[in-house]
Structure 1
Amino acid sequence: MLFKRFLKRRKTDATAPSKTSSPSAARQPTTPPPPLQPRDLDQLASALTSATATDTRDAAARRYGAQLARLESETARQQRLAAITEPAALASLARHCPDAALRLTLIARLDSAPALAECALEDPVAANRRAAIERLETREALEQVVREIGKRDKIVHRRAREKLRLIAEREAEPRRIHDQAVNLCERAERLGRLGNWTQDRALLDHLDQQWAEIGTRAEAELRERYQQARTRFIAAFETATAAAAQAQAEQQEHAARTAAYQSLLTRLETLVGAGHEDAAEVARIDREWEALETLPETEQATFDARRQELRARLADHDDQAQAQARTRARDQLAEHQARIAELVDSPKPLVCHRAERLLERAHDCCATLDGDPATIACKQLADRLATRLRTQRRNAEQRRDRLGDKLAELEQRLEAGELRKADALFQSLQAGLELVEASGCANADSVRTAERLRQLAPQLRELQQWRRWSADQQREALCTEIAALEAEAPPLEQAAAQLQSLQQRWKEVDRSGARADETLRNRFQETAARIRERCRPHLEAEAAERARNRTACEQLCAQLERIIDDTDWTQADWKRLVQTRAETRRAWAAIGPVEPRHRHALERRFHRTLKRLERPLEAERKRNLAFKRSLIAEVEALVGHEPLEEALERTKALQREWHTTVAARQKEENRIWREFRAACDAVFARRAALQKAQFAELEDNLGRREALCAAAEQAAEGTGTTAQLGARLHALEAQWHELQSLPVPRQAAGALNNRWKAARQALVQARQHARDQERGQAIAQLERQEALCARVERAALDTTENPLDRLAIEAEWAALGELREQGLQEAMNARLGRACAALDDGAAAAALAAALERNGERRQQLCLQLEILTGIDSPPEFSQQRLEYQVARLAERMGDGESDPLGGTSELLRDWYLSAPAPIDAALAARFARVVAALTPAPAPHTETPA
């Protein structure tokens, strides 16, 4: 009862007149609400927490929230809200409380996911919706919010999707950890299978780093599996390392024994070369030979055979003289060969006649040692020396011919006082004359040039003296600058840089050729030494930096060498090697300067190592290019391949096989890629042509169907008789069924079918409308003929009326026109003829009167049938007759197998109009008028046929 009282009060408030109902009401003072009683709040809170029905609880929540909002004290409101602990009551308050701030407080206390979802969806305040979505954590509620919020609150929608993504990530995290752990286990189990122990040991460290990130979250079974794989590899790695060390030790021991055997053989060879046998030395060699541990059978047999050979040669002294002669010849040949090699490698011009004599002696020694292998190398060197002599003579002759021009230029330079260029020309002319003299191709011009050169020497020396004086002036200025530098005492880094610049300028002056005065040199060097001593900390730091750079260079070279040595070139990661090469070059360029004495050696080592790496890369580059050319050839062979589907599939497979291990020059890669793409495009062009033809066919079929739809729409919009429209409909349907088997674009098929259905339906409706119009016209014409016939029949039956003029009747009948149905028109003509005959013939009139009642009953039945057929209600007194008639006729028609138990309206109307004369019955006439209205169509508004 208490709750009903509060609800009644709320209903009364709701039904009260609105404050904005009229201007006068708006101007009237409002009555303040009654004071809020704590007892009322307690009763409302009790009703809210005890309500079981959802509607009742929601109404109580609205009322209670409105009353709480009236409390002025925030503390009182919070205390009241804190007293509500029932989850359903909290949820209802959070949804229906009118005060937004109270709803926000209640949302913060909600734990029900459906209630929070409803708040996020329905709360009118955006801050409350966002607070609700922040507290939602269940997938179902978040999916509901995403599904229903739409574009009303994009922030809530985005936050809900973000939370769903986080939930999905949390749910997928165990699976990801499991997959990653399985992958790491599999990779750890594959370690050591190929015997690349150094690479696999480094890879294990990388795997350990990855395992440390996920190991604690992986399953115990996978942790055990990984640990077993790791332990297995470590044991195998240690075993392989120990085996490699043992093999290396055995190899070193084997090499030492081999060297010992070779040393003994060398001593025997020395005795053989001496030409006499030293018994004591031979005995010592035999004792040492027997003391050595034997080698493998094959190598031991080789050394034993060599020993026996040398012993036999020592024992055989029959050919000692010849051997000594050949030995002397061989020694001379070796001496000549060394001299020839020295001349070949000498950078200075050769004295041709001496070199030619040396060649003659070397040829004599080769003739003496005919067939000796040592002569081959000597002959090769002799050929190289002869080639160099010919080249030198040719160069000497060319320079001899240019001596005159250079001499003239030298005179010009001396006249102009250009010492540097003149000095260079003088030195060049001297070198050319020396070359001509050494090559033995001097002539009169060269002799005159030499004489003229001696005459110009004093003039050159005079210029050099002036240059020396200028150099002394420069050195004096440098001494002054370095003294000023010492006096200024700038920062160490700046002082060291300036000192280096001054020393470089001193060296440039020295390189000009002017000899320095020792006093100036000592003065400059002493001052430089003092500045250098003061800059020693900076120089030492710079030297340390250069040393560190040198260490970095050495480590980079060593790292690159290890990569080359440890790489299995049969299974190399070529992309990684190319990347390593590029990274190494960048790292080398990033390293700072090193000590000058180490720079060239380090650069040679680095570039030599890069060449070692480049050789297999170049081989792989050529192999990859050959592979790509083979793919191009295979694709070009598929251009004319049949069937096309097989060629396309093979082309796609070849495209997937295309890959680059080591890239060639960009121009070459681009060219070969264009060739491959051109070949692939040629294959796909066939498909494009076929698709184009198919598309043209589809478009043609689509055009024919659209034309058919347009024809149907045009026919539906036009006019015509029922027969014409029906014929047009049948013809269009036949064409549509014929075109329906032809394919059209799939995206247009649905819309095209819908258009055809709409156009066909419009044409069917147009035909039905024409039929209804024709039927209405026929009924109207029948009604006019019926009225004339009835008037004549009444005149024939009622003698009190004025007689009718038959000629006037015939004229009026002719003016009504004829019906379309010829049989019905003849029947109506016969009816009019009987009525006209009854006007003058009593017997005919009596016959009409006799049929009057019979026709009245007949028309009652016909009207009932027409009402049943048209669905018009019959008067209540005819309900039983209507039911009996329907049942009887239904049984009769079903027995005959007819689909329409009541027949058509045309025959019934024909019988109605021919059942005359009939008594005048206003009720029956009204019922028949309703039937005629139902059968006569109303004018239809013009509507456009849908496309």
Structure 2
Amino acid sequence: MSLFKRLFKPAWQSSDSNRRATAVQSLKDPDLLGALPTIATQDDSAAVRRAAIWRMNDLGLFADRSRHDADERLRADARKRFVQGLVEADDARQGEAERLLRVEEDPSVLESVARNAGRAALRRIALEKLQRPGLLADCALSDPDGEIRLWLVSRIDTESALKRVMEQSRKTDKRVYRAASALLEQRAMENGDGQAKRQHSLDLCTRMEGLLHELPTDVAQQLSAIEADWNGLKTDVDEAMQRRVEGLIKALHGALEAIDGKTVEVVSEALDQPSESEPVPEEDPAPTAAEPAEPAAAEAPAEVQDPRLAEIIEQIEQAAEDGRADLAPVSAALEALAEDELLAQSVDKLRRWLDRIEQARRSRAREAMFEQASALIAQLEKAVVAQQAAEARAAIDQLEVIKQAHQGLPRALRPGYAEAKAEARKLLDWQRWSNNEIRRRLCDDLEALPEAGLHPDAVAARVKELQAEWRRIDALEGIDPKSPARGLGKRFNALVFQVLKPARPYFEKRAELRRERGEALEQSASNIEAQLAEARDRKAIMALRRTLVDGLRELNEIDPRQRKSMGQRLRADLLAVDTRLAEQSEQVELGKRRLIAELRRDLAALPVEEHAERAKQAQSRWRSLGSGDRKRDQAQWKELRELVDPVFTALAGQREVEQAENQAQIESFNRLLKRLEDACSDDQIGAEGLQRLQQQCREEIAELGPLDRQRERRIDEAMRQVDQRYGQRLRHQRLSAYTALATRASRLDRIEAAWIDGSGLDQPGLHDLIDAEPLSDTALQAALEIRRGRLQAVSGEADEADMAQVLNLLEAQQREAEAVLLDCEFFAGVDSPAEFQSERMDLQVKRLAERMAGGEVTDAARHAARLWAAWFSVGPLSATSRASLAARFDRCRKALEGALN
């Protein structure tokens, strides 16, 4: 490592954790990016590790830190990044995500992946490790992959969850619905539910009936599976059901035999329905020279003797190639030739050929119809599942047209269409009921409009909204908007008329106002045209332009039939105004050009002392010329500035010298003022320091020279505050000794309270309190020593005192404290408690007698000092007594401190 790198490390290697975190979070240093894994696992600061985690994209590291990091917040962040990476994994990271997910055991991570992962494989791995039925049910209903949904249904082992899946997937996912239903039925059968077994038997009957209708290619395999299922079930159902099922099994076996024998009559007999298959014409012998062949299987007669037959054969060949050609003329021509006995045999063959063409066309038409109907049925089922009533109605209408055109649908499509149509009818009925509820609500909203107190325009707008909503609902139900209204429609139309009737006077009045506004705009346009011819000032012309623009904005307030012509007139006037503005701009430009030329000439001729005055005159004249085109004005202003800026720069230099001198005086003044303000707020400066500061500041103020009135008031106020602070510090010094006594007495109160409670006398504490740092005033120090002497006298060397002695001492000190407090209250002029009024009276009489006898008058300060020392020399006292008596002393304390000052 170079010396520079050792001395100047990058920010992400700083010893300051906050700086490291900021650097890791934002820097793009390649060395930093390479060191992020090490930082995320080994850095001492959790904040730095978290920043590294958010910069990385390593799923393995996220998984490790989410389990093993010491910081809870970092574990949460790593878990969040881990889940995010699994959910958003792409093809490149899917393998790594699967590997990490297979060893993950955190249920919250697995559930997040199961619900939100974009990859089906990841969702399946997560779901394989989860067993909670509620989650499996949720995913069975919401997972995008149909196979996973079916697999999840098979894993659900609780009946309640299966029922929820079945109910919620009834109209959204038929496969899941059937799987859940089958699983519920299977478990009910395993539990011996007779009703479930009967229902399963009915389902077998339905399946076999469908097989009889459709006869698919795998009918034999399906029948074998049904028989195996029935053999395990038939002993648990009644005889009637047994006969029905076995009869259908027998019918299916017969249908299989009929299929092997190439006939379908057995199926028709089993279903008791006529066969709908087309009659199969007998095969004709191979065509001869005079016999036409079948389409796509034989050729036309090789030899044609009669030209009429040749023409008909040509027409038949064209009809065979063109599936849309009309066969009626050909059939009529054959009928005309049938009377000729010589051509009878050839005509019969041509008829059979023509019949086969017609049969082929009908077969193709049936196939096309089958495909179209199948697609429409699938579309109908999809619309029902998606709850799309309009699409379902359109599909039903198209299927009904096909059904009517072909005298019914193919047999294989009938059950599916019937089921889908029934579901669609339910949807349409529900939609119709819902739409009628909406229509009633629209009528109610319309009926409530008059009472809402809305503006007529708001009423009209609301009516249009309701009418649009009504038309939308009619369109959903396929109702022709031109058809006569019925029921709710009549009511709605009547309400529209009733609601709009009160607003008609308003609309009539608005039409009148629009007419008046149109006339006002015409008059305004005429006035502008007249004023424009005489206007010379740019401001006046701009005012005319603003008036025209406002008129254009107000066009919507006039009659719509007048808006076009009025708009054209106003725009023409606006063009004339813009032309006039361009002319005025040219005049202003010419005047400013002359001004610049004159200024340049004068600055070259005049002495330097007169340059500033000439530049000011030029600026004044510039303003009087007015404004022109903005771009031109800016360019000319730049030229003027090039001339006057050097003049004003020299003038500014002179002013800067003067300002520098003033600034120096201001800075000295501010420093002096700050010293005074800091002294007022500094508790460390004593009275002597404040006195010296006052003298120094007076000398510095004299050196500053004359001050303005405002600064003079500020400095006087600061000096007054310092003087006030000086008096406070003097008083504080006088009171400090008495305050120290009060503080130590409070600590002594706690020692006495502990001794009274039986904790023993704290001799070391007494020594530290009284002897370690004695008070400077001996009288105050004596108060503390008196209290210590009492404690030691009672407790003895063993720190144990007789209870009677303790009680006597407490009682004596209680009386002493009350006497001292009476004297304090008398001194402070504070009322004594009611129970001490007589003692207070005796004290007052005593003091009065002493004065009348000519006794010595004690100084107030000395008397207050004696009372202060006397009060804090009282002790020990119980905690309750001390608290109540201290409250009385606190009422006298302010007066005592005032006297001590």
Could you say which TM-score interval applies, normalised by the shorter chain? under 0.3
Rg larger for: 1
TM-score, normalised to structure 1, is 0.20
Q: Which has the higher contact order (CA 8 A, sep 6+)?
A: 1
